[in-house]
Amino acid sequence: MEYGILALLGVNLLLLIAILLKNNNGSTDTTERLGKFETNITKEIGDFKLDFSNNLRNDFNKLNEQVERKLLEIYERVNQQLDENFNKTNKTFNHVLERLSKIDEAQKKIDGLSTEIVSLQSVLTDKKTRGIFGEVNLNYILSNVFGENNEHIYQTQYKLVNGAISDAVLFAPAPMGTICIDSKFPLENYERMTNRSLSKEERDQALKLFKGDLKKHIDAIHDKYIISGVTANEAILFLPAEAIFAEINAYHQDLLHYAYQKKVWLTSPTTLMSTLTTIHMIIKNMERDKYAKVIQDELNKLSIEFERYRSRWNNLSKSIESVHKDVKELNITSDKISKRFDSIHNVEIDQNETKYISNS
C-alpha cells in the first residue's frame, strides 16, 4: 500500500510538471488545477500517514505478539531444561552420597579388619594360642568335608594306645586304616627368615632354625602317630598357614623329601581339604562295593518275585478273558431270548387284530 501511494504521488508530480511546462504563462486555469492538485496531494498524504500509522501499529503489535510468544517458548524450554538438569544433578549427587556412605562403611570395615589383624598377630605370637588356632581350623575343615559329629569317620583329640593324643584321626577302611592328623604352626622363625629388613646373616640363621623346627615336628608325628598294627603307615602334618606351605613347596624341597622319608604328608588348609575330599570319595566307593553283593542278591530275589507275579497275572488275564467270553455269549443268548419274546408278542397282537376284522 505504501508503495502504491508513493507511485501515485510520483505520477501526480509528473503531471504537475507537464502542466506547468505547457502553461508557463500563469493562467487562471493552471492556478485552479494546481490548487486542486495540492488539495488532492494533501488528502492523499494525510490518508497515507493514517494508513501508514495504522499499518505500522498493526505490524508492531504482531511483532510484539510474536516476540512474546517466542520469549514464552524460550522461557518454557529453559525451565524444562533446567528441571531436567536439576533432576540429573540431584540424582548424581544422591549417587555420590551413596558411594561416599559405602566408602565410609568400607573404611570402617577396613579399620575394624586392621584392628582384628593386629589382634590376630598378637594372638599368634603365643605358641599355645597358635596351637588352638590350628586345631580350630582343622576341625572346621573336617566338619565341612565329612559333616559335624560324624564320629564313625573322624574324631578329634583322639587318644592312641601309646598315650599320645592326636588333634584328629580319620577312620578309613582297609587298607588305609586309621590316619592321624596333627596341627603344627612354626611361625617365629618363618617370619624372621622372610623379613627383608633383617640382614642376610640373620635371615639365614632363621632359615636354619625354621628347617630344624619343621623336622622336629615331622619326627614327633612319625614317632607318636604312626603305630604298626594300630594306625596307618602314614600321618598328616597340617600347616594352618598357606604362606608357610607355599614357601616349603617352592624353595625347600629337602624338607618335602625328609617328610616323605618319614611317611608324613605336609598339607595346608587347601590341600588338606582336597586330600580329605579324595579320601571321602574312596570311603564312599569302598562302602558301595561292600554292599554291592547285598544289592545284587536283593535284586535277584526281586526278580524271582516279579516272575511269580507275572505268572499269576497271566493266569488272571486268561481267567478274565474266559469270563469275558462267557459274558459275551450270555449276552448273545439274552438278545435272542428277548427277540423271541418280542416275536411271540407281535404274533399274539396280529391274531387279535385278525379276529376283530372277521367279526366286523
Note the maximum CA span of the chain: 165
Q: Which three cell numbers stand for residue 32?
A: 485552479
Cα dihedral 49/52/58/62 (nearest 10): -140
CA torsion sign, 21 to 23 to 25 to 26? Answer: negative
Rounded Cα distance between 48 and 62, Å, is 21
| pLDDT of the residue at 34 | 59
Residue 103 has, within 13 A of its CA and on its CB side, a CA count of 6
Q: β-strand 165-171 against 178-183: which pairing, if any?
A: antiparallel
Other CB atoms closer than 10 Å to residue 344's CB: what's the count? 10
Phi, psi (5° rounding) for residue 77? -65, -45
Phi, psi (5° rounding) for residue 349? -65, -40
By CB neighbour count within 10 A (0-12 exposed, 13-18 middle, 19+ buried), where does 263 fall? Answer: middle
Please report how the helices 242-251 and 269-290 are oriented relative to each other, as an axis angle in degrees rounded to 10: 90
How far is Cα of residue 174 from the mean position of the Cα atoms in its chain?
44
By CB neighbour count within 10 A (0-12 exposed, 13-18 middle, 19+ buried), where does 41 fall? Answer: middle
Per-residue pLDDT of the chain (360 residues; tens, 9 = 90+): 444 455 455 545 555 555 555 555 445 565 666 566 667 767 766 676 677 677 777 877 887 888 888 888 887 888 888 788 878 877 887 887 788 777 877 777 765 555 544 444 555 556 677 778 888 889 889 988 888 877 888 999 999 999 999 999 998 877 778 899 999 888 888 888 888 888 999 999 999 999 999 999 999 999 999 998 889 899 999 998 888 899 899 899 999 999 999 999 999 999 998 888 888 888 777 777 777 777 777 778 888 887 887 788 888 777 777 777 777 777 788 777 877 777 776 765 555 555 544 554
Tell me the three-class secondary structure of the chain, residue by residue.
Answer: CHHHHHHHHHHHHHHHHHHHHHCCCCCHHHHHHHHHHHHHHHHHHHHHHHHHHHHHHHHHHHHHHHHHHHHHHHHHHHHHHHHHHHHHHHHHHHHHHHHHHHHHHHHHHHHHHHHHHHHHHHHHCCHHHHHHHHHHHHHHHHHHHHCCCCCCCEEEEEECCCCCEEEEEEECCCCCCEEEEEECCCCHHHHHHCCCCCCHHHHHHHHHHHHHHHHHHHHHHHHHHCCCCCCCCCEEEECCCHHHHHHHHHHCHHHHHHHHHCCEEEECHHHHHHHHHHHHHHHHHHHHHHCHHHHHHHHHHHHHHHHHHHHHHHHHHHHHHHHHHHHHHHHHHHHHHHHHHHHHHHHHHHHHHHHHHHHC
The answer to whether the beta carbons of residues 133 and 124 sit under 8 Å apart is yes
Q: Which three cell numbers stand for residue 212?
A: 630344624
